[in-house]
Structure 1
Amino acid sequence: MHLIVVGLNYKTAPVEVRERFAIPDEELPLALDALKATTGILECVIVATCNRTELYAVVDRHTLCGHYIRAFMEQWFNLPREMFNRHLYMYEDDLANRHLFRVACGLDSMVIGETQILGQVRDAFFLARERKTTGTLFNRLFQQAITVAKRAHTETSIGESAVSVSYAAVELGKRIFGRFDDKKVMILGAGKMSELTAQHLTAGGAKEVFVVNRTLSRAEELADKMGGKAMGMDEALRRIDEADIVISSTGAQRFVLERDVVARAMKSRKKRPLFLIDIAVPRDIDPACGELPGVYLYDIDDLEGIVENNLEKRRQETAAIDVMIDAEMESYRQWYATLGVSPLIRGLQEKAAAIHEETLDSLLRKLPELDERQVKVIRKLSKSMLTQMIHDPILRVKELAAEKRSEASLDLFVQLFALEEEVARLKNEAKEAEKARTAGQAAAAGPDKQAASAEPQSFLAQLAGALR
């Protein structure tokens, strides 16, 4: 079995391509079911956000399954393969695992360290598990990805520093005012950046927002969205003294806010500070305003400098997170390596338990005078001896499973402990369970659906397949 991810994201595809691969929430369950019914797909999860669409799958043969997944994309999104092939990336096995861990931790995001993607990965996995499109491998892998992402955000500071101009402005405001719940915000202009900054400020507690624009209808439109009040530019300049925070982004070719207007406003503010954020290019606010006592003026360069410094801090944190990811990947490898020999280990444990019970029953028949306490002590000690006896062989078979070309060694292990009967029984149980699973999958996919995996010729062949 192999793990594979096929997808596209903001690095490989422009927005006009990405939007063609958007999957509405209400359609995601159907997409999962259709992907699971695709030839060779044993398990699958779809992560679909505005910046990425990724199809994760456990497959029987990776050489063909990349083709089948592309065919699914072609059919589901109703697009010719030639249109999107060059935008796709595909990772297999360890590279697919690492990619998932980095995505969940926010290391592959447009904004490094953002936390929203963790919730999106978690929701995608929970939906897939609910639709029964995941199994042993993805249930383990995605749980590990979610766990390491949570650790990344709690044990490092990757998500703490502001990394957008609008959010950096809010962080600066917090340094000046401490809190916004009693502050008034005035927005000069109704551009996107001003809107985003105002949203962050109101989310931070600002209660009253004035929206100012030369076109009053546009001001009213944004004011309705923000729950604020609209006004014209002339009125706003007369009422600057009422605002605590002024955000300006008008697109004007000359200063909108002159030094004398701000100086006049400061006289009536009685030493209360005024925070000016000039996001416009060319600038809206006369730089001389920043020389006035109590006035804090920041322009786009100031904010972008803060953003770049904070981004660099986040980049430095990625090294620590990569160490966490390496540890999780090694944990998954070890778990996966022993997955194939679990029936062998279980066979040894069951045989040992059967010998223990048979021997103990014989002993108790020969010593009928033993009381309940004595029987309990004998049972506990004899079981402990047996557990210790098989402890090292179990460790050794796990080590063998991780080695290349281990089939001969595992075969010898079966012969040394005479486990042929136990292994055969467990193998038959697994075979019947697999038959039931593939029968259900074939019924859902129709008569042309091929079996998900070939029937192994021997138990050791099955082990070798799981280890490849």
Structure 2
Amino acid sequence: MSTFKAVHILTLGINHHTAPVEIRERLAFPESDQPSALARLVGDYGLHEAAILSTCNRSELYLAADGDSGLAQVRRFLAECQGVDVAALESHFYQLNDSDAAVHLFRVASGIDSLVVGESEILGQVRRALEMAQQNGSARLLLNELFQRSLRVGKRARAETEIGRGRLSIGTAAVELAGQVFENLTSCCVLLVGAGKMGALTAQYLVDSGVERLLVSSRTFARSQSLASQLGGEAVPFEELAAQLAVVDIVISATAAMDYVIRPADLRRAMEQRRGRPLFLIDIAVPRDIDPAARDIDNVFLFDMDSLEQVVAANRQEREGEIRCVQAIIDHELKEFLYWFNALGTGPLIRALRQRAAHLQEQELARWASHLGPLSTDERQLVERILRGYANKLLHDPLVQIREFANDDEGYVRLDTVRRLFRLDDSTTRLSSPKSELAEADEAEEKKS
């Protein structure tokens, strides 16, 4: 990156590579909480832009901020507003700047940084993170461009490679895990807890795997009924969830609840009725739906998100070649993005050059007006077009070079030389950061409204 940037793209995050599920769930951002979090990050903590990507396997904050101070500010936000003991979790965080932050988001959107490599859900989650930030006014020039380009990377990865071959998701991994526990799912009764998008996908995979009986339960009974009717299952009122634990063979839980929906007391009562028959629980929610103390109960076998690692290891090995193909797409898109990002700082200089050319045109026209004699309106416009065309041709190559200089390691020195050669006022051509571009974008939005 060029050394004269003062506004940086920053990422602070935690994911399945760096932290177990019990740590990840402490940093989860429910969608209902994100508008207020984004407003505080921008309004109270001095960040130019902010976006939150929170899924079952990651919580990441993307920022546009002055220098590295933005990372300190977001840590303060996590401590003061989210009640996170940042110091205790420091070893689990990763922080990324500029090109590294862009590469990371491109890898996330393409699916190669997912627990299930190539899974399809992450692209929609990245799109939703951008939409949330746009709706709340916290994604402007930089993050809007970064996220739009990441979505393009994700689409290209799936269209131009085989990284997304088949139906891949956390739900498919959960069903595969269930298939490892029971050799034949066709004789099993499965209870799915949660009728959201993840639950619906998982339910479809269960039906395709031939489960004998599918029960669906969620806090909204109408959603349970709708999903169950689509797939030939049975809807169970959420209030009867505990009673069903005595009947089913497998429970797969995927709700958006912030607290446990299945507790040890419920399981103990169920196990008394099961008379030693084992119960398998697969918890793919973050925060977790099932109290981990369930593992202490005889004949209860609990698997969570981290348990899926063994299931998906083979999937990753199969797709290593496709990962390399996706990385080539990322490398190409990164180069294009950095060219755009670095060129942001040249805006004031380019405008100053154009303004100087326009001023010289006016001076020359005024100087020669007495020699040319009276000009009609059409004649004057013709002379102005000739001067403007000449100036544009003269400036074309310098403007191209200015954008190229922005991506040079000695960009600041080269651009400053251009400024001095054309005797441009330093106050109108500051190259310190794209901050002025951000301000102009904000002013434009205000004028529209």
Measured against the shorter chain, the TM-score band is 0.5 to 0.7
- Is 2:322 the counterpart of 1:317? yes
Kindly indicate whether residue 69 of structure 2 is the aligned counterpart of residue 70 of structure 1: no
Distance of 1:425 and 1:79 partners within structure 2: 39
Superposition pairs of residues 16-415 of structure 1, within 5 angstroms? 16-62=22-68, 64-163=69-168, 187-191=186-190, 199-200=203-204, 210-211=212-213, 226-227=228-229, 228=232, 311-360=316-365, 366=372, 368=374, 372=378, 379-415=384-420
| Superposed displacement of residue 19, structure 1 | 1.8
Q: Equivalent residue for 1:423?
A: 428
CA deviation digits over 1:207-264, x for unaligned, max 9?
x985299xxxxxxxx999744478xxxxxxxxxxxxxxxxxx969xxxxxxxxxxxxx
Counterpart of 2:19, as a letter, is A
CA distance in 2, matches of 1:362, 1:422: 28
**Which range moved further: 110-119 or 415-424?**
415-424
Q: Deviations over 1:102-122 (max 9, x none)?
A: 111111111111121111111
Aligned position for 2:19:
13
* Separation of aligned partners in 2, 1:187 and 1:34: 51
Match of 1:175 in 2: none
The structural deviation recorded for 1:32 is: 0.9
The alpha-carbon distance between structure 1 residues 136 and 197, as it changes in their structure 2 partners (threshold 3 A), is closer
Q: Any idea what SS the aligned residue of 1:134 has? A: coil
Instruction: Provide structure 2 residue ranges, at least 5 long, that are not aligned to the other structure.
Output: 1-6, 177-183, 193-198, 216-223, 235-247, 251-278, 281-309, 444-449
* Deviation per residue, 1:106-159 (Å, 9 max, x gap): 111111111211111111122212222233221221221112212212222211
| Higher alpha-carbon deviation: 350-359 or 146-155 | 350-359
Provide the C-alpha distance between the structure 1 equivalents of 2:81 and 2:109, rounded to a whole number of angstroms: 25
**1:267 maps to what in 2?**
none
- State the Cα distance separating 1:388 from its structure 2 match: 1.1
Q: CA deviation at 1:320?
A: 1.8
Q: Distance in 2 between matches of 1:70 and 1:2?
A: 16
**Alignment length, in residue pairs?**
342
Q: SS of 1:102's equivalent?
A: helix
Kept in 1: contact 2:42–2:138 (CA 8 A) = yes
TM-superposed CA distance for 1:203, in Å, is: 7.2
CA distance 1:367–1:117, change in 2 (3 Å): farther
Deviations 1:310-359 (A, max 9, x none): 64453321212211211222222222222212111111112212333554
Q: Once the two structures are superposed, what CA deviation does each residue of 1:338-392 show, in whole Å capped at 9, x if it has no partner?
A: 22121111111122123335545666772557794x7666554443322110111
Contact map agreement 1:351 1:422 (CA 8 A) in 2: no
Counterpart amino acid of 1:137? L
Q: Which amino acid aligns with 1:94?
A: S
Distance of 1:418 and 1:87 partners within structure 2: 51
* Residues in 2 aligned to 1:200 and 1:46: alpha-carbon distance in whole angstroms: 29
The structure having more radius of gyration, on CA atoms, is 1
- Give the whole-Å Cα distance in 2 for the aligned partners of 1:54 and 1:159: 23
**Distance in 1 of aligned mates of 2:14 and 2:441:** 35
TM-score (norm. length: structure 2): 0.63
* Distance in 2, Cα, partners of 1:159 & 1:211: 29
Aligned equivalents of 2:349 and 2:107: distance in 1?
A: 34
For the structure 1 residues 396 and 225, does the alpha-carbon distance in structure 2 shift closer, same or farther, using more than 3 Å as the test? Answer: closer
Displacement, 1:47?
0.8
User: Hey, what's the Cα distance between the residues in 1 that align with 2:330 and 2:63?
Assistant: 20
Deviation of 1:31 (Å): 0.8
Contact 2:172–2:202, Cα closer than 8 Å, also in 1: no
Write the letter of the residue equivalent to 2:144: N
Say what the alpha-carbon RMSD is for the aligned residues.
4.6
Instruction: Give the stretch that moved more between structures: 16-25 or 339-348.
Output: 16-25
Which shows bigger deviation, 87-96 or 378-387?
A: 378-387
* AA matched with 1:33: A
Structure 1 position 78, deviation (Å) = 1.6
Partners of 2:315 and 2:64 lie apart in 1 by 38
C-alpha separation between the residues in 2 aligned to 1:27 and 1:44?
14
Aligned to 2:284: none
Structure 1: stretches of 5+ with no match in the other structure? 172-184, 214-221, 231-248, 252-279, 282-304, 439-468
Residue type of the alignment partner of 1:50: C
Label 1:388 to 1:379 Cα distance change in 2 as closer, same or farther (>3 A): same
SS of match in other structure, 2:112? coil
Q: TM-score by structure 1 length?
A: 0.61
Over 3 Å counting, the alpha-carbon distance change for 1:164 and 1:353 in structure 2 is: closer
Please list the CA deviations of residues 28-56 of structure 1 after superposition, one character each: whole Å capped at 9, or x if unmatched: 10011122245452221111112111111
Please give the alpha-carbon distance, in whole angstroms, between the structure 1 residues aligned to 2:427 and 2:20: 56
| Code of the aligned partner of 1:211 | R
Name which structure has the greater RCO, CA cutoff 8 Å, separation 6+: 2
Secondary structure of 1:3's match? strand
Residues 386 and 124 of structure 1, relative CA distance in 2, 3 Å threshold? same
Instruction: Provide the secondary structure at the position in 2 that maps to 1:56.
Output: strand
Tell me how far 1:408 sits from its aligned partner: 4.3
